[in-house]
Structure 1
Amino acid sequence: MSVFPGYSFYIAINIHFVSFEHTFSVLRPLIRPLPSQQMFDHVQKRHSVLFLYVGVESTLKEKFIEVASELIVYTYFFSASEEVLPEYVTLNEVPAVLVFKDSTYFVYDEYEDGDLSSWVNKERFEGYLHVDGFTLYELGDTGKLVAVAVIDEKNNSVEHTGLKSIVQEVARDYRDHFHRDFQFGHMDGNDYINSLLMDEVQVPTIVVLNTSNQQYFLPNKKVENTEDLIQFINSILDGTAEAQGGDGILQRIKRVAYDARSTVVSVFKSSPLLGCFLFGLPLGVISIMCYGICTADSDDGSEEMTRKDVIDPNASDEGSDEEQDEDKTRENSSEVTDEDQEEKDIMEKKKD
């Protein structure tokens, strides 16, 4: 996903914080026992989500301990006997693993829920969340689609509060239908979601994000009630809804261009003078260099033309004069030799 300006730094800080939490969590027991119902009530008030193993030693408890060693940094694990449980909790069989959240509880079923580790990883969040950048980053590990109501929390109009209530209602009343595939929540404002989708999202609206491949879904009509939202979710599940975005090559190029533009805009918005200096100075230097290169080429060309037009004609004239002098010398030499020859002939005749 990507990446909002400053978001990478935000994620890095949170990752370091999680690493610190993980180091600290090693010092506490993986699974803390709850000896009484009063202790259970106390723990439940302190933690919005907790996992509880009920029963004696078993293979299921060994798996529970393994999962706790992997995910202790993210959530809380406890163990208790059946007598410690509140009266409203009923179990068909023991041992069992339960998750307490959203003012109720859910029992792990190996046949329906699959691997215990995967189930705990998906159930470690409440059914409805306030979603921000880091929460969305963590939700990527669950493999769920994230249905987000993008609203303005400062706006108390029915349009904003009503959309939030619709998503909460579906998350609560239709858990059995959608909780394995969807995580529900709301996001305050559209700044982050705009950077994520590289598009302007109207507020309020519903957006469904696929964090595994960076695709997203937008409803083709306004969501006004729970039926509209359920219809939209079902269209995603059956594949009739159009997926947008993705992580293809074109989207990656678009992401680089969008991030660059966002960075430039954010710099100019925060400090126009700094933006002019950071981007104006390099552009000015590059422009001067280009002008110098182009000017140097044109001067060299004119000099070469001048040399050809001025120097070469003189050189040709001089060459012709030299040739004429040589011709005259040859003629004179030939004339001299002829006179010498005649004189020689006359002297010979006299001798005879």
Structure 2
Amino acid sequence: MVSLSRLLFFIICCVLANVAIGSRVLELSDKFLEIHKEGQWLVMMYAPWCAHCKRLEPIWAHVAQYLHSSPVGVGRIDCTRFTKVAHSFKIKGFPTIIFLKGDQEFVYNGDRTRDEIVKFALRLSGPPVQEVTKTISFNTLKKDRDLYFLYVGERSGTLWDMYHEVANQFQPHAFFYQSHPVVVDKHAPIESTPALFVYKENVHYNFTGHSAITDADQLNETLYRWINAERFPTFPKVTRGNINQLFLTNKNLVLAVVEENQLEEIPPDMLEFRDMVESVIKRKREKYHDHFQFGWIANPDLVNSIAMMVVPLPSLIVINSTTNHHYIPEDEPEKLTPDVIETFLEQIRSESVPKYGGNSFAVRIYRSWFEVRSALASMWYGNPILTLVLFGLPAGFLSLICYNIWCPDIFDADDDEKESTGSSHIKKD
């Protein structure tokens, strides 16, 4: 029998939420503040005039459709109408995506794609570590999860406690599971328990060395660093949504810079360059993985902002995520080979190559100027007439104001000189 509280909760939701035709997205109002701690919610805070919000609308509809059978309610709130909601959740920009679970609030900062948003919601909808009790479930996991962490052993002991604690911290960013040797069977190479793995690129990578660490603080720090570094694919696509998370690895970020068209297609020559850079980490993972995070980026504007110059396409750039310095090989892109790249990476590790950028005050000022200049240039090439109107009219008004301020003084000064001259003549007569 359905409990009275659940029935009341369902009725309240139906009253305050209007379901749009052809969509499973709930249109919420300020009444949502009364029930937002009941159940689980994935909510988009938006403004009708926001262009980014409009682009997200069809994606959000797909997210709601995908999560319809889950316990997560998907809705949206017009913060221009219900300002009390925006103030309560401290919304500073649009769109803002928030996952609510009881008293917990998680703000989504990843890529605004259906798959990434759905993964974010599914990770947070369950416990930090989910238990796998059937061997056949691993086939589903490998199909649906391109990356996950797996603890094999009993839910007790130092390693388990620390694994659960770190999983709680990284729950918005990765999937964490626990199972037993009999259940895991041949899906992971179990020699002894407890064991810890990360699964990605169809391979399990083992967390080694924990048995030799006796200090609890050292073990906790080592485990945290390992999970933080392994929660990304070996060669991910780097975007504005995930680059800040990649910086948290405290590694050197090695980026193959290419360009995509509107259909996300890469020209053959750039695709060949990207694959060549990927081959370095694929062949020498043991050598470079601890110090370098490889990836590729199809947003030249973002790279130009980091490098404070217009980089050629394709090209290679290495960014120190700790100091924000960057390195650019002296060789032309067409002359870069896996061996040349390896030599370049070794020079970075030995600090024998020039480094650029950083976090100094002068560099930040120059980067701001470069971004403003690039934005103006982009506006000019995109629509020169609109750019002239936007900047020409204020400049014209400013000129008129200056004219009215200074020119009358000049004319008055001339009149005064004439009057004083005339008076002197009268006195002489």
TM-score bracket, shorter-length normalisation:
0.7 to 0.9
In the TM superposition, residue 126 of structure 1 has moved relative to its aligned partner by 0.8
Instruction: Name which of structure 1's ranges 194-203 and 103-112 shifts more when overlaid on structure 2.
Output: 103-112
* Structure-1 residue corresponding to 2:363: 251
- How has the CA–CA distance of structure 1 residues 294 and 257 changed in structure 2, closer, same or farther, with 3 Å as cutoff? same
Deviation at 1:15, TM superposition (A): 6.7
- Mapped contact 2:249–2:321 kept (Cα < 8 A): no
- Equivalent position SS for 1:133: coil
Residue in structure 2 matched with residue 327 of structure 1 by the alignment: none
Name which of 85, 97, 104 aligns with 1:16: 97
The answer to which of 285-294 and 308-317 deviates more is: 308-317
Pick one of 311, 317, 330 that aligns with 1:207.
317
Q: Tell me how far apart the structure 1 counterparts of residues 223 and 343 of structure 2 sit (CA, whole Å).
A: 31
Kindly indicate whether residue 260 of structure 2 is the aligned counterpart of residue 161 of structure 1.
no
Relative contact order (C-alpha < 8 Å, sep 6+): which is higher? 1
1:235 paired residue number: 347
Q: Which residue of 2 aligns with 1:219?
A: 329
Is this contact kept in 2: 1:14–1:134, CA < 8 A?
A: no
Residue in structure 1 matched with residue 253 of structure 2 by the alignment: 146
Alignment size in residue pairs = 309
| Higher deviation after alignment, 119-128 or 88-97 | 88-97
Match of 1:346 in 2: none
Q: CA deviation at 1:170?
A: 1.6
| Paired residue type of 2:144 | R
Residues 1:305 and 2:417 aligned together: yes
Output the CA distance in 1 between the equivalents of 2:414 and 2:236.
73
Deviations 1:309-352 (CA, angstroms, capped at 9, x unpaired)? 222443566xxxxxxxxxxxxxxxxxxxxxxxxxxxxxxxxxxx
Cα offset for 1:133?
1.9
1:23 Cα offset (Å): 7.3
How far 1:219 sits from its partner (Å)? 0.9
**Matching residue's letter, 1:287:** S
Given the alignment of the two structures, is residue 78 of structure 1 paired with residue 177 of structure 2, yes or no? yes
Q: Percent identity?
A: 24
Q: Which has the larger radius of gyration?
A: 1
Equivalent residue letter for 1:161: L
CA contact (8 A) 2:153 2:193 kept: yes
SS in 2 for 1:105: strand
Larger relative helix fraction:
1
Q: Distance in 1 between matches of 2:200 and 2:121?
A: 26
Aligned to 2:137: 39
Residues 274 and 162 (structure 1), Cα distance of their counterparts in 2 relative to 1, 3 Å cut: closer
Between the aligned partners of 2:383 and 2:338, the Cα distance in structure 1 is: 45
**In the alignment, does 2:302 pair up with 1:196?**
no
TM-score, structure 1 length as denominator?
A: 0.79
Please show how residues 1-352 of structure 1 align to structure 2 within 5 Å.
16=97, 19=107, 25-56=123-154, 57-87=156-186, 89-109=188-208, 110=210, 114-152=221-259, 154-157=266-269, 160-188=270-298, 190-222=300-332, 223-315=335-427
Q: Return the alpha-carbon distance in structure 1 between the equivalents of residues 390 and 362 of structure 2.
A: 29
3-state SS, counterpart of residue 126 of structure 1: coil
- Kindly report the root-mean-square deviation, in angstroms, between the aligned alpha carbons of the 2 structures: 2.8
How far has the Cα of 1:13 moved from its partner?
6.3
Decide whether the 8 Å contact of 2:327 with 2:356 is kept in 1: yes
Question: Secondary structure of the residue that 2:331 maps to in structure 1?
Answer: coil
Contact 2:173 2:231 in 1 (8 A): yes
| 1:91 Cα offset (Å) | 3.7
**Partners of 2:383 and 2:314 in 1: CA distance:** 30
Normalising by structure 2, we get a TM-score of 0.65
Mapped partners of 2:299, 2:311: distance in 1: 10
2: CA distance between counterparts of 1:13 and 1:211?
A: 27
Structure-2 separation of matches of 1:172 and 1:47: 20
Q: Tell me which protein shows more strand as a share of its residues.
A: 2
Aligned residue identity for 1:245? G
In 2, distance between residues paired with 1:276 and 1:88?
A: 63
C-alpha displacement of 1:73:
0.6
Per-residue CA deviations over 1:235-290 (Å, capped at 9, x if unaligned) read 10110111111121221121221222223223333433332222111111111222
Deviates more, 1:205-214 or 1:136-145: 205-214
* Runs of 4+, deviation exceeding 4 Å: 9-15, 20-26, 111-114
- Which string of whole-angstrom CA distances, capped at 9 and with x for unpartnered residues, describes residues 10-49 of structure 1? 9966873662576775441111111122112211221111
Aligned to 1:213, what secondary structure does the other structure show? coil
Alpha-carbon distance in 1 for matches of 2:338, 2:192: 35
Gaps of 5+ in 2: 1-50, 57-91, 99-105, 109-116, 214-218, 260-264
> CA, structure 1 residues 14+156, in 2 after alignment: closer, same or farther (shift >3 Å)?
farther
Shift of 1:82: 1.2
Residue type at the aligned position of 2:297:
M
SS at match of 1:154: coil
Whether contact under 8 Å (1:189, 1:203) holds in the other structure is no
Kindly provide the amino acid, as one letter, of the partner of residue 130 in structure 2.
Answer: R
